[in-house]
Chain A
Amino acid sequence: MLVSLAWSSLGSRRKSVVLTFLSLLISISVLLSVEHIRQQAKESFNRTISDVDLIVGAPSGQLNLLLYSVFRMGSPTSNIKYESYEALQESQLVDWAIPISLGDSHRGFRVMGTNDNYFQHFKFGNKQALSFQNGQAFASLFEAVIGADVAKGLGYKVGDSVVISHGIGNTSFTNHDNTPFTITGILAATGTPVDKTVHVSLNAIEAIHLSASKQNQLLNDAASVNTTPDSVTAVMLGLTSKFATFKLQRDINNYKTDRLMAILPGVALTELWQMMGTVENLLRVISILVLISSLFGLSTMLLASMQQRKNEIAVLRVLGAGPRVIFTLVLVEALILVLLAIVAAIVLLSVTLTLSSDWLASQYGLFLSANLLTVETLKVVSVITLAAIVTSAIPAFEAYKNALHSSLSAR
């Protein structure tokens, strides 16, 4: 009865109630999305790479190396010699080495040159290995393996042929038209940048960058041209013993014949996360302030209505409603509004995340789940509800006082 009374009372002040509801909806959406994206981004960043002990590339910042080698963001400053990769591969301490070569793209998706080691040793999430949804790894020169999102986004099947562009833009003036690739395999979805990548062999990367005459020669007789690469962009290493990590890192950093830098992906990820932590906290503070201001808006709306509700309160009092009932009534009104706003915000965010997940993944490498019903969200929601109760206690107490002093003469 109280809830239906509160509901009718809200209905009688539709305009200010709708405006308050919208302000609550916006602020709760902002807070929930900041919290959700924070959680999800951390998870999505941390699951991109697993079981890789060192990443080796040309000396730059460790974040830069991490971003381009793992997240396929930004561009590599310079490459390292292929001989360095071979040397690392042969090192006693190294169990496996995955060379990667970046710089080309296919309709907005990055193309990465690598070799079989990648499919055997690369791991993501909780040490999960890559697996094929369809087909198998590339075996010959002009064959490619695509990630799940590439297949889904461009509608490719095994056996289709693709043309690779030079550079990393969505549109490129230089297409490697002479050398189309045949898709031999599609990887199962991983929720990492792997899904957005077209994989080819290192030799293929070398081959598409040959001069036109050499390419013709190659197409006529594959064995006549040497397609062994000169350089690779980076190398991911798995070590035989974790204890050797720091020794090997030091050795690589002091490597004489090539300029190399080795980073620990975990450390780099943490640094990346710390850098984002400041921004994240700032966003959090702002969204909390926005929420507080809209909660004050709610209690202002209720307070302003108290004057016109004096009669109403007098009537309720005379019918036998105690001051506590009046207090509860105002609180229930506030809670109805806040809970409705929370539900609407969750629906709104879920829909938005579902619709924008592809865009977020391709633009920012963020793989966000559209499922908001997590323990974290529940915590945020309970904090919001609690804050709503606290702020609406002000008008509720006003109503309580009103009820205490209301008398039959209230006119």
Chain B
Amino acid sequence: MSAAPEQPLKNEADSNKAAPNQGNAIALNDVNYHYADANSSGLHIPTWKVNYGDRVFLHGHSGSGKTTLLNLLAGVLTPQSGELSLLGKPFSALSARQRDKFRAQHIGVVFQQFNLIPYLSVLKNIELATYFAKAGKTNVADAAEALLTGLNLPATILQQPANALSVGQQQRVAIARALINKPEILLVDEPTSALDAAARDAFMTILIDMCKQHNTTLIFVSHDMYLKKFFETSVEMSSLKGSSLIQPAETK
């Protein structure tokens, strides 16, 4: 029972009173997930809501269930009980196929590393995202080039194979790919762990800028408290789970 010591979110009360699945980019209600093997602890989140356009820093020590939560949000895992709604849709009630399609169209994901398929060119990697989203083939190359320029990458890398790029470049390409379908939600998992300090700061600034520009709801998972300064909202894992209190977030 590690009750959240943080202050309550300012608008938290009214967002709770609104229709539970309307108006929030992400809404969790009594979500339960436990792994098949009994050793790993499960995850229980009584309630959690994120507004459209919010950029949330989700932190916690390792093993606190950050990645599990991210997997639930991405629809790679499904909760055993409870409701998980994304963009007003009951995500957890969709079929696996519908979830895959929903993810392709509305959710961008950036991992810690290995975001790109190494033997494909940068452009092909980005095109894959549009292919699975079944977005009409409106000039992907141009859109990708615009995104890459915004991410301070030269357009010439489009034709290079992904494994020819530096790790920092790969991570930025991963953002470009995550944003190509203009997703409403961007899930990011420790993207800077392989970067040095300078590259990390540059990466963070660009990431936040891109999300502002596209009004993307960002869930950023990390254990690195240094990164907290880039976010308006930060949430500690332990405050989300266990406690039935609904005061999970703090504002800076």
Residues of A bordering B, CB below 8 Å: 1, 4-5, 8-9, 11-12, 311-312, 314-323, 325, 406-411
Q: Are B128 and A408 in contact (CB under 8 A)?
A: no
What 0/1 readout, one digit per residue, does chain B (88-104) give for beta carbons within 8 Å of chain A?
00000000110011011
| Complex: A274 Cα to B129 Cα, angstroms | 61
Residues of B bordering A, CB below 8 Å: 67, 70-71, 74, 76-77, 96-97, 100-101, 103-105, 109, 111-120, 124, 127-129, 131-133, 177, 187, 189
- Chain B residue at minimum C-beta to C-beta distance from A12: B119
Q: Are B76 and A406 in contact (CB under 8 A)?
A: yes
| Complex: A409 Cα to B117 Cα, angstroms | 16
- Chain A residue at minimum C-beta to C-beta distance from B36: A405
| Complex: A409 Cα to B76 Cα, angstroms | 11
| Complex: A4 Cα to B123 Cα, angstroms | 13
- Chain A residue at minimum C-beta to C-beta distance from B174: A315
The residue that A1 contacts in the complex, of B76, B118, B131, with Cβ under 8 A, is: B131
Chain A residue numbers with a CB within 8 Å of B189 are: 408
| Complex: A321 Cα to B77 Cα, angstroms | 14
Chain A residue numbers with a CB within 8 Å of B115 are: 315
Q: Are B116 and A315 in contact (CB under 8 A)?
A: yes
Pick 20 A–B contacts, CB within 8 A, sort by A. Answer: A1-B127, A5-B124, A5-B128, A8-B117, A8-B120, A312-B118, A316-B132, A317-B76, A318-B111, A319-B133, A321-B100, A321-B132, A322-B97, A323-B96, A406-B76, A407-B67, A407-B71, A408-B74, A408-B109, A411-B113
Chain A residue numbers with a CB within 8 Å of B116 are: 315
Instruction: Point out which of A314, A316, A409 has the most chain B C-beta atoms below 10 A from its C-beta.
Output: A409
Query: How far in angstroms is the closest Cβ of chain B from A12?
Result: 3
Q: Are A315 and B117 in contact (CB under 8 A)?
A: yes
Instruction: Point out which of A5, A315, A319, A406 has the most chain B C-beta atoms below 10 A from its C-beta.
Output: A319
| Complex: A411 Cα to B76 Cα, angstroms | 15
- Chain A residue at minimum C-beta to C-beta distance from B131: A1
Q: Are A407 and B119 in contact (CB under 8 A)?
A: no
Chain B residue numbers with a CB within 8 Å of A312 are: 117-118
Q: Are A409 and B71 in contact (CB under 8 A)?
A: yes
- Chain B residue at minimum C-beta to C-beta distance from A11: B119
Chain B residue numbers with a CB within 8 Å of A410 are: 114
Question: Other than the known A320-B129, A408-B71, what 16 A-B pairs have Cβ atoms closer than 8 Å?
Answer: A1-B127, A1-B128, A4-B124, A5-B124, A12-B118, A12-B119, A312-B117, A315-B114, A317-B76, A319-B133, A320-B105, A320-B133, A321-B100, A407-B76, A408-B67, A411-B112
Chain B residue numbers with a CB within 8 Å of A318 are: 74, 76, 103, 109, 111
| Complex: A406 Cα to B189 Cα, angstroms | 15
Q: Are B103 and A5 in contact (CB under 8 A)?
A: no
Q: Are B103 and A320 in contact (CB under 8 A)?
A: yes
Query: How far in angstroms is the closest Cβ of chain B from A304?
Result: 17
Q: Are A408 and B76 in contact (CB under 8 A)?
A: yes
Chain B residue numbers with a CB within 8 Å of A408 are: 67, 70-71, 74, 76, 109, 111, 187, 189
Q: 5 nearest interchain CB pairs?
A: A320-B104, A12-B119, A320-B132, A311-B114, A322-B100
Known A12-B118, A311-B114, A408-B67; judge A319-B74 contact (CB<8 A). no
Known A320-B105, A320-B132; judge A407-B77 contact (CB<8 A). yes
Chain A residue numbers with a CB within 8 Å of B112 are: 411
Chain A residue numbers with a CB within 8 Å of B177 are: 319
- Chain A residue at minimum C-beta to C-beta distance from B103: A320
Query: How far in angstroms is the closest Cβ of chain B from A65?
Result: 66
- Chain B residue at minimum C-beta to C-beta distance from A404: B96
Q: Are B129 and A319 in contact (CB under 8 A)?
A: yes
| Complex: A4 Cα to B117 Cα, angstroms | 13
Q: Are B128 and A409 in contact (CB under 8 A)?
A: no
Query: How far in angstroms is the closest Cβ of chain A from B230?
Result: 21
Instruction: Point out which of B77, B101, B117 has the most chain A C-beta atoms below 10 A from its C-beta.
Output: B117
| Complex: A321 Cα to B112 Cα, angstroms | 20
| Complex: A411 Cα to B194 Cα, angstroms | 13
- Chain A residue at minimum C-beta to C-beta distance from B109: A318
Chain A residue numbers with a CB within 8 Å of B111 are: 314-315, 318, 408
The residue that B132 contacts in the complex, of A4, A9, A319, A407, with Cβ under 8 A, is: A319
Query: How far in angstroms is the closest Cβ of chain A from B178?
Result: 9
| Complex: A33 Cα to B119 Cα, angstroms | 37
Q: Are B71 and A411 in contact (CB under 8 A)?
A: no
Chain B residue numbers with a CB within 8 Å of A322 are: 96-97, 100
Q: Are A8 and B124 in contact (CB under 8 A)?
A: yes
Query: How far in angstroms is the closest Cβ of chain B from A374?
Result: 39
| Complex: A319 Cα to B113 Cα, angstroms | 15
Chain B residue numbers with a CB within 8 Å of A11 are: 119
Q: Are B118 and A320 in contact (CB under 8 A)?
A: no
Instruction: Point out which of B70, B128, B177 has the most chain A C-beta atoms below 10 A from its C-beta.
Output: B128
Q: Are A9 and B109 in contact (CB under 8 A)?
A: no
| Complex: A16 Cα to B217 Cα, angstroms | 44
Chain B residue numbers with a CB within 8 Å of A409 are: 67, 71
Q: Are B100 and A320 in contact (CB under 8 A)?
A: yes
| Complex: A410 Cα to B71 Cα, angstroms | 11
- Chain B residue at minimum C-beta to C-beta distance from A1: B131
Query: How far in angstroms is the closest Cβ of chain B from A168?
Result: 62
| Complex: A4 Cα to B77 Cα, angstroms | 29
Query: How far in angstroms is the closest Cβ of chain A from B109?
Result: 4
Chain B residue numbers with a CB within 8 Å of A12 are: 118-119
Chain B residue numbers with a CB within 8 Å of A311 are: 114
Chain A residue numbers with a CB within 8 Å of B119 are: 8-9, 11-12
Instruction: Point out which of A312, A314, A322 has the most chain B C-beta atoms below 10 A from its C-beta.
Output: A322
